[in-house]
Amino acid sequence: MSDVIVIGGGAAGWAAALSAVQGGLEVVLLEKLAESGGSSAMSGGCLAFAGTELQTDQGVADSPDRLYADLREVGQEVNDPALVRAYCDAQLASCDWLKAAGVQFSPVIETAAGQSVPRVHTVDPADMVRALKAAAEASGRVVYRPNTAAQALEQDASGRVRGVRLTDGERLEARRGVIIASGGFAKNPDMLTRYAPHYAPAVFVAGAGSQGDGLRMAQALGADLRDMDYVKGTFGKHPTDETNDHSLQAVYKGAIAVNQDGQRFVDESISYKLLGDAVMAQPWHCAYQILDQAIFDTGDDRVRILDFGRRLEEGLFYVGDTLAELAAQVEIDADVLQATVDRYNGYVDAGHDAEFGRTHLVHRHGALRKIETAPFYAYPSTAVVFGTYCGLRIDPQARVLRADGSWLEGLYAAGEATGGFHGAAYMTGSALGKAVVFGRLAGQAVAAS
Ligand SMILES: Cc1cc2nc3c(=O)[nH]c(=O)nc-3n(C[C@H](O)[C@H](O)[C@H](O)COP(=O)(O)OP(=O)(O)OC[C@H]3O[C@@H](n4cnc5c(N)ncnc54)[C@H](O)[C@@H]3O)c2cc1C
C-alpha cells in the first residue's frame, strides 16, 4: 500500500508525485497510456509566471498582484478568487522549484493572450515532464505504472476515498489519499457534445488520454463541477492542415480577421479563446487573418504561434501582390475586402476603431499597424480545442469539493481535470502553469494531511 495514488502522468501528475515524495510520502502513479506526458508534453510549453528573475533581466516589471488582476480580468471574474490567489501566491516558488528539478527556461515571450506585460516563460514541455518524473523517481519512493488505467474511486465505510479500482479489476489502496491528474476531455466526443456543442465544427488536438475519466470517477462520488459552460477553442488553426498542431496569431502582430463575407467581426486583440468563440459564430466557422509584408516581417520563428515563415514555406498562406489578387484567391469580393482594410487603416490613423474598439495589438500591448505594404497575406483560421479548462471543483489545497462546499475526504485533483481557475476565458500559459502549480500544491496538501 502507498500513501498516495496519483491518477495521470502529465505535468500535474508528475508535479504532484514530486512534491508528495519531497513531503516524505510513498507514491503510486498510474498512467493509462504506454507513455506518460499527456497534453502537457505536446503543448506549446508556455507557462504564466510573474515577478521572475527572467522578467527582471529583460526589464519587465511584473508582480503576483498584477498577475492576479490580469487573471481575474481575463476570466471575466467568473473564476474563483481563492484559486487565482493560490496560484499567484505559489507560482514564483513553483518556477524556482521547476528550475531545481532541472527544467530550463527560454527568454520571456512578448506576445500572449490576456497579459498586460510579457510573462510567458517557455520550456520544452516534454523535457519538463521528463525532468519532474526523473526527480520524483530519483527519490526511490515512486512506483510508476504505465498502461494502467484507473476505472473507479473506492471509499471506506466513513466515505473517505481510500483507493482506486483499475480497469482490470485490481484494487489499490492509499493511506493518505488519491490525486486526480487525468487531464481534460478534449478527446471525448460524448462529453464535448454535452458541454461544448458550439465547438462541434472545430479541430481537436490533445493527448489521447484526455477523456474525462477523472471527472467521471469523482462525479460518481458527488463531486461538483466548475466552468463547464466555458469550454473554448483557440482561434488561428488552419482548418485543413494536419501537420501543424498549433495556432497562428498574426492578429497579435497587427493582422485583422475577416470572415468569408470580407467583414471584420471582432476586436482582434482579445484572448484567442474569445476569438475562438467569435470565429465559431461566422459563416463556415472560419475566417482569414489578413496582413501585409510589414506585419509578416515581425513574425518570430522561435515562437510557434508567430512562426509565419514556416507556414509560408508549408504553403498555408495565400499571397497576393494586391488586395484584389488576394481577395480572388480566398473568394471574397475584392471591393468589400479593400473597403474593410481601408476602413481599418483609417481607424489606425484616427486612433479609434469605431466598429470593435480595438486599441492594441494584444490585450493592452503594442500600437496598431496599418495594412498597406504589398504583398498581402491571408491565413485561413478556425478554432482548435487544445483542452477543456473546466472540471472538478477544488479549493486552494486542491481538495475536491461537493456542491455544498464540503470536501470529499481523501480526494484531491490538479491540472486540466479541475475547474474554477480560468473562469470565462484564458491567459496564455495559465493551463500548463495551473498543472504545475496545483499539482505541486496537491502533493504538499496530501503530505500535510
Ligand atoms: C497542442 C497543445 C498546446 C498547448 N499549449 C499550451 C501552452 O503553451 N500553455 C498552456 O498553459 N497550456 C497549453 N495547453 C494546455 C495544457 O498543455 C494542458 O491543459 C495541461 O498540460 C494539462 O496538464 P495535465 O497534467 O492536467 O493533463 P495531461 O498532460 O493531459 O495529463 C493527463 C494524463 O492522465 C492520463 N490519464 C487519463 N485518464 C487516466 C486514467 N483513467 N488512468 C490513468 N491515467 C489517465 C493521460 O493519459 C495523461 O497522460 C496546450 C495543449 C495542447 C494539446
Class of residue 129 by CB neighbours under 10 A (exposed 0-12, middle 13-18, buried 19+) = buried
Residue 349's identity, in one-letter code, is D
Domain range for residue 52?
2-184+210-230+391-448
Beta carbon of 435 within 6 Å of any ligand 1 atom: yes
Residue 203 lies in a domain: no
CB 308 within 8 A of CB 315: no
Q: Closest Cα to residue 182, out of 207, 216, 204, 210? A: 210
Same domain, 223 and 243: no
CA of 88 to the centre of ligand 1 (A): 21
Residue 51 lies in a domain: yes
How far is 67 from 245, CA to CA, in rounded Å? Answer: 28
pLDDT digits (tens, 9 = 90+) for 142-188: 999 999 999 999 999 999 999 999 999 999 999 999 999 999 999 99
Q: What is the side-by-side strand order in the sheet with 120-122?
A: 46-48, 120-122, 106-109
How many independent structural domains does the chain possess? Answer: 2
Does residue 244 have a pLDDT over 80?
A: no
pLDDT digits (tens, 9 = 90+) for 208-227: 999 999 999 999 999 999 99
Same domain, 407 and 341: no
Beta carbon of 7 within 6 Å of any ligand 1 atom: yes
Q: Choose the residue to mutate in 19, 30, 123, 182 for probing ligand 1, maximizing ligand atoms within 8 Å of C-beta.
A: 182
Same domain, 169 and 48: yes
Residue 361 lies in a domain: yes
Q: Which of 344, 369, 385 is the last residue of a domain?
A: 385
What are the residues whose beta carbons fall under 8 Å from the beta carbon of 342, sequence distance 6 or more? none
pLDDT digits (tens, 9 = 90+) for 42-74: 998 999 999 999 999 999 999 999 999 999 999
CA of 12 to the centre of ligand 1 (A): 8
Q: Which three cell numbers stand for residue 436?
A: 504545475
Residue 354 lies in a domain: yes
pLDDT digits (tens, 9 = 90+) for 294-344: 999 999 887 888 999 999 999 999 999 999 999 999 999 999 999 999 999
